[in-house]
Structure formats: structure tokens, C-alpha cells
Amino acid sequence: MHVLEPGDPRRMGDFTLIGRLGAGGMGQVFLGRSAGGRAAAVKVVKAALAEVPEFRARFRLEVAALHRVGGEWTAPVLGADTEAAVPWVATEYVPGPSLHQVVESGFGPLPETTLHALAGRLARALRAIHGAGLVHRDLKPSNILLTVDGPRIIDFGIARAVDTVAGSLRTSTGVVLGSPGFMSPEQVRGQRVTPAADMFSLGSVLMYAATGRLPFGSPELGLHALMFRIAEEEPDLTGVPQTLTGLVTACLAKDPQLRPTAEQLAVHTSTDADGPWLPAELLAELGRLAARMLTVETPPQGSPAPTRSKWRWRPVLAVVGVLAAVATGTALALYDDGAEDRAAGGAPSTTASASPSAPPSAERGIPGEFVGAWEGVLEGDSDLPKRVLRLEIAPGRPGDKVAAYIDTDGAAQCTGRSKLVSADADTLVVGRGQVTAGVPQGHCTPLSPQTLAVRSRDVLVWKSGGLTADFYRSAGGREAVPDQYVGTWVPANETYREKELIRIAQGPVGGRLVRMSVTAGMDDGTEQYCDSTFVIGAVSPVLALSPATYTAESGKGCRQADAVFFTLARNGHLLLYSMAADAEPAEYVRKS
């Protein structure tokens, strides 16, 4: 933090400003403190932007949207005044270094367990942001702060407000719409930006956190060369742990339609780590940082704040448990919404590790035999399935959401989660499902309670809603698609060879990894072009796909297609069946 300078405001709304935290294209960021002592990052808009009606109107909408985010892994809005002569917004001050500071310092890339927890928690933060109608547009390591209980994404939503007036203010105010090393291909090309752009940036962020490098090279090699590689070349993922390669690859797909959504990643990634999610050395520094924040004094009116150095990594050896307790305690004292209620004798707030619904430790958790990915055919058979269900069961205790599922039939694909009801050595019972996503939207109902019994090491007997099926162990992780499916396919019939194209990418189940392009003749002699994508819902014994979602470039005559599944013939050809009909399969060969 740096001292306030002459001309800096000393107060914005109910917040007394203590010092300068930094500056950006939008304006200056100050450290502030509320009347109750709560620390805040107060962002004050530049005068040039405040005078532009289009910016102020969009800023008003963005602040309203930011209030709706309130995500567990974002910094919530504490106050704002969009109508003031100098507009401002105050968000919770996050007591932690940025991901960029940690990786670029003596600590370096993060360990694998931390990377997995980081991926899951960032996916949930983006889910909250996108659910509020926002696109971050500038997700990068310096906008991700690391705290004891997880990462926090900051500065989301503002880029879109700046974009409104970028044409007239880009050169005069220094506005930059995205950081080159973490931009998506559509941003590089100046095309329409959607939430999928944030998912591409997430892939680059995870690559950086794992290796300290960028997937398309350093900006120091030349801005134009870097942007060309982002738009046209494949990423270099050397050094990324194998367990994360599939996820990063899926996020870095050139086609936005082929990237997983934040919802899909949130469902299929874990936020848990074995013990503290951060290494001991980093926890120690966070504890000292939070303690220093407690000693920052509010300067007298008209006086500058004392100078404080920026966060800097210093390796230390310490006892993890003690340091984690110190860091957590100081963070709660400064930033927990429920701290004042607890001090007054109110009910404590809940956390993942101390929930009022969590059972005593003596209650039985899930036996290891059940943990993992399972798939079964609920209707039809393995040769011609009509409905396929995939379950991914995680460790947990009664009351925990332990079962993530993807239910694919001819009309819809539904994704959801179920809580554990009970478990013993041979039987697992999960409750009624909670729908989290569906293709198409509005066609899903919650899955009935499910019972799973062990038949053998790799077979479970599944029962639910009057249905019974055998479930078999399936591939999980970020490279779940069988390699023999991956690639580009064209019709075996040469007459249609130039009319259809199927591309199947490697990635996790739940990813939008299949794209089909078809040009069909119409009755009036014209041709209709349809470009569609599919979400993979299961990978064995068949590749089960969601109903099609048509891309923006598809023709208006493209109809909603049924869910389909792929199998491989003995000759290696790809066979495509409809899950809603008994029609003969369409046959495809690898494109030469």
C-alpha cells in the first residue's frame, strides 16, 4: 500500500480512505475502512470516464449486477454510488497476494493438489459471475487473490462497462480490454465475447499456475506474434500435470462452443484438498499479512497514511496447523459478515468444515469401493441404448453432495447432484437429485432417490424409480474420452463426403467436445447449413451425446435434434445412432 497523495479523496460514502492500492484503466483503487472497521477496496472512476453518459449508464448496470453475484469466491460489493460526480464502488478487501505475485516470487508454480482445488473454486466463482449476466473479460493471475479459505476473483464486470466507450477513450485513457497473454481467440479477433472467453482465460491461468509459463508464449516475444498464436496455433502444455491436461486442453479450444461452461466444470471438479489447500509457506505469509492489516491505522483527516511495502514472498518454515489458525482468525475478524453477530452472541456462520447439517464424525462415510465414475444403461441395451446414466461418486458423509450425475435420453440431457443418505460396506443410498443444468433447458426433472449395491469390484446394482441396471466403472478425469473416438470423421458414403464433418475432442465427461457440421439440400433446390455441438454425457459402453445445440452461424431451418450415441464397428468405422429412434446408423470414417 502507498500513501495518499495530494488531491486524493479522503472519504467516499461511508468509507474512510487509508491509502492507495493501485490503479487501472477504470481509475484509482484505495484501501478504505467502514465505520464498523471493515476493510474495503474502493475503486474511484476516472473523471474522463465519469463524464461519458454511455459509460455511466453501463457502470450503473454493472454495479447492480455485481450486487447479485455475491459468490463464495468473489469479493462482494459493500457499497457504491453510481450517481455521484465521481462514481465509485467498494468491494470487500481480500487479505491475500495475487496468483501472479505468488508464482513470480520465490514460491513458483503451485503443487498439484492446490491446482485441482484452484480449478474447482475458480469454476464456481465464474459460475456465479456468469449467472449474474457478467463476463469478466480480463481473468488473469493478477486478478485472482489467494486467501486461506480459497481464491477470490476481483475486478469482474468492469471491462464490459469500459467497452461501451472504448472506441472513443481507448487511446486517451489507456483502457485495455483484456491482457494479451490471457485473451481468448475471439477477443484477439475482435469478435463477440461470451462467457466462453472467460473459460479460455481460465485454461491459460491454470497453465500459468502449474508451470509459471503461458500456453502460447511470452508477450515479450512480440504482441502480434502472441495474438496470432492464440488465434491460430495449438498451446504448448509442457509441464502441466497429467491429471490437469485434459481440463486445460478443453478450456483452450479455439471454438467457444467446444469449451466447457463454468457450470460443467463446477460440477465435475472438486474444491477439496487433503488438508489445507495452500502450502505451509504460503499460509504462513497470509497469516502475517492479515496480522499487518490489523495494525494499519486510519490517518487523521488531511494526513497521509504511513507507507507500507507491497506484498513480497519470503520463504518460511512453520507449523501448518498454528499458522492456518492464526490466518483464519485474523481474516474472520476483519472480513467475515457474521463476525459481529457472533461477538453479540448470535449464531455462528457455516463453513464447509463446520456445517450445522454435517453429521458427527462417527457417522459412516462412503466406502472406497463406491468412489469413482460409474455408467449404466437404464433403458434399451448396450448395443442400442435409449437412456444412459453416469454417476461420479466422491467421498463424503450423510448430508454431503457426493453424487454428480449426467442423465442422457433421447429428448434431453440432465445434469445434477444428490446428497448422501446412508452408506455401509455394501450399499449406498443417495437422495432425490437437484438439477444443475439441462440440454435443452426446461426439460429436466430431479432424479429419484438411488440405491447402489456392490456386486463385484467393478459392478454396482443400481435401483431408482422402479428401474434396475448394472453400473460399471468408467473413465474419469480430464481425458475421459476413449482415444479411438478422438479426431475428425466424414461420411463413409463418398457421395456425402463433402457434406458432413464430425470433430470429437479429448476432454472430461460433461464437456462440449463434439461438433457436427452438415450441409443438406432443401426441397426448393437451396442448401441448408447446420453447425451443432454436443455435450458428452457418458463414454462407455457407448459415447452418449446430448441433444444438439446449434451455433450462431447455423441456418434458420436447423431443427432441434435428438440425443445420439456413437459406437465403433469392428472395421474401425464410427457409427452414429439416434437414442430416440431405431433407425439404421450413419457410418463415418476418419478424415484422411
Kindly name the residue from 8, 14, 138, 149 that is annotated as catalytic: 138
Instruction: Give the mean model confidence (pLDDT) for residues 297-305.
Output: 49
Are 143 and 155 in contact, with CB atoms under 8 Å apart?
yes
pLDDT score recorded for residue 397: 85
What distance in Å separates the CA atoms of residue 317 and residue 319, rounded to the nearest whole number?
A: 7
**Per the structure block, which three cell numbers stand in for 338?**
457474521
pLDDT above 60 for 299: no
**59-68, 177-186, 395-404, 453-462: which range is least confident on average?**
59-68
Average pLDDT, the chain: 78
Q: Answer yes or no: is pLDDT of 54 > 90.
A: no
pLDDT tens-digit readout, 76-101: 888 899 999 899 999 888 878 889 98
Q: What are phi and psi of 473, to 5 degrees?
A: -60, 140
Q: What are the start-end ranges of the E strands in 199-346?
A: none
> What proportions of the chain, in percent to the nearest 5, are helix, strand and coil?
30, 30, 45
* One-letter identity of residue 357: S
Mean pLDDT of 59-81: 77
pLDDT at 152 over 80: yes
User: In sequence order, what are the residues at sequence separation of 6 or more whose Cβ sits closer than 8 angstroms to the Cβ of residue 137?
Assistant: 159, 160, 163, 177, 178, 187, 193, 197, 198
Instruction: Classify residue 338 by its DSSP letter.
Output: T
Task: Assign 545 a pLDDT band (cuts: 50, 70, 90).
Answer: very high
pLDDT at position 30 over 80: yes
The residue with greater pLDDT, 306 or 581, is 581
pLDDT at 443: 82
Residues 435-452: tens digit of each pLDDT: 887 888 778 888 999 999
Whether residue 350 contacts residue 321, with contact meaning beta carbons closer than 8 Å, is answered with: no
10 Å Cβ neighbour count for 66?
A: 22
Instruction: Using CB atoms within 10 Å of the CB of residue 218, give its burial: 0 to 12 exposed, 13 to 18 middle, 19+ buried.
Output: exposed
Cell 465519469 identifies what position?
Answer: 50
Q: How much is the pLDDT for 321? A: 27
Is-contact 140 181, C-beta < 8 A? yes
Q: Which residues contact 362 (CB under 8 A, 6 or more apart)?
A: none
Question: How crowded is the C-beta side of 91, counted as CA atoms within 13 Å?
Answer: 25
**What's the predicted TM-score (pTM) here?**
0.49
CB atoms under 10 Å from CB of 117, counted, come to 22
pLDDT recorded at residue 296 = 55
Backbone φ, ψ for residue 38 (5° rounding): -80, 130
Is the model's pLDDT at 460 over the cut of 90?
Answer: yes
pLDDT at residue 221 greater than cutoff 80: no
- Per the omega criterion (within 30 degrees of 0), is the bond before 449 cis? no
Of 16-25, 359-368, 552-561, minimum mean pLDDT range? 359-368
3-state secondary structure 22-89: EECCCEEEEEEECCCCCEEEEEEECHHHHCCHHHHHHHHHHHHHHHHHCCCCECCEEEEECCCCCCEE
Judged against a pLDDT cut of 80, whether residue 223 lies above it is answered with: no
Beta-ladder partners of 375: 390, 472
Specify the amino acid at residue 306: P
pLDDT at residue 482 in the model: 93
Task: Determine the pLDDT at residue 333.
Answer: 21
Say if CB 492 and CB 569 are below 8 A apart.
Answer: no
Half-sphere exposure of 575 (CA within 13 A, CB side): 14
Model confidence at 227, pLDDT cuts 50, 70, 90, reads confident
CA count, 13 A, side-chain hemisphere, 68: 14
Contacts 24+ apart (CB under 8 A), 140-143: 140/100, 140/179, 140/181, 140/182, 140/201, 140/204, 140/205, 141/98, 141/99, 141/100, 141/103, 141/182, 141/205, 141/208, 141/209, 142/98, 142/99, 142/100, 142/101, 143/98
In percent, the amount of the chain with pLDDT more than 70 equals 78
CA–CA gap between residue 24 and residue 45 (Å, rounded) = 10
The cell numbers describing 277, all together, are 489447500
Cell (9 digits) for 491: 461420411
Q: Of 226 and 254, which is predicted with more confidence?
A: 254
State the cell numbers at 533: 455441438
Mean pLDDT of 25-37: 86
Name 294's Cβ contacts closer than 8 Å, sequence gap at least 6.
330, 333, 334
> Is 556 annotated as contributing to ligand binding?
no
Q: Which three cell numbers stand for residue 197?
A: 472467453
Dig out the grid coordinates for 458 from the structure.
467393478
Q: Which residue type, as a one-letter code, is found at position 136? A: H
138 is known as an active-site residue: yes
Secondary structure (DSSP) of 390-415: EEEE----TTSEEEEEEEEESS-EEE
In the sheet that holds 88-92, the strands lie side by side as 11-12, 15-23, 27-33, 39-45, 88-92, 77-81
- Cell numbers for 52, please give them: 461519458
Rg of the chain on CA atoms, in Å: 26
Element (H, E) at 232: helix 223-232
Do 180 and 223 contact (CB within 8 A), yes or no? yes
Contact 433, 416 (CB under 8 A): yes
pLDDT digits (tens, 9 = 90+) for 347-404: 222 222 233 333 333 345 788 889 999 999 999 988 889 999 999 998 888 888 889 8
At residue 552 the predicted structure's pLDDT band, cuts being 50, 70 and 90, is low
Instruction: Report whether pLDDT(544) > 60.
Output: yes
Q: How confident is the model at residue 131 (pLDDT cuts 50, 70, 90)?
A: confident
C-alpha 284 chain-centroid distance = 27
Under the banding of pLDDT at 50, 70 and 90, the label for residue 156 is low
Residue 488 has pLDDT above 90, yes or no: yes
Percentage of the chain surpassing pLDDT 90?
32
Q: How confident is the model at residue 275 (pLDDT cuts 50, 70, 90)?
A: low
- Buried residues in 549-567 as b, exposed as e (16+ CB within 10 A): bbbeebeeebeebbbbbbb
Report which secondary-structure segment, H or E, holds 389.
strand 385-393
Alpha-carbon gap, residue 54 to 325, rounded angstroms: 47
Q: Using an 8 Å Cβ cutoff, are 147 and 324 in contact?
A: no
Task: Give 558-573 pLDDT, tens digit per residue.
Answer: 766 789 999 999 999 9
Q: For residue 293, what pLDDT is reported?
A: 55
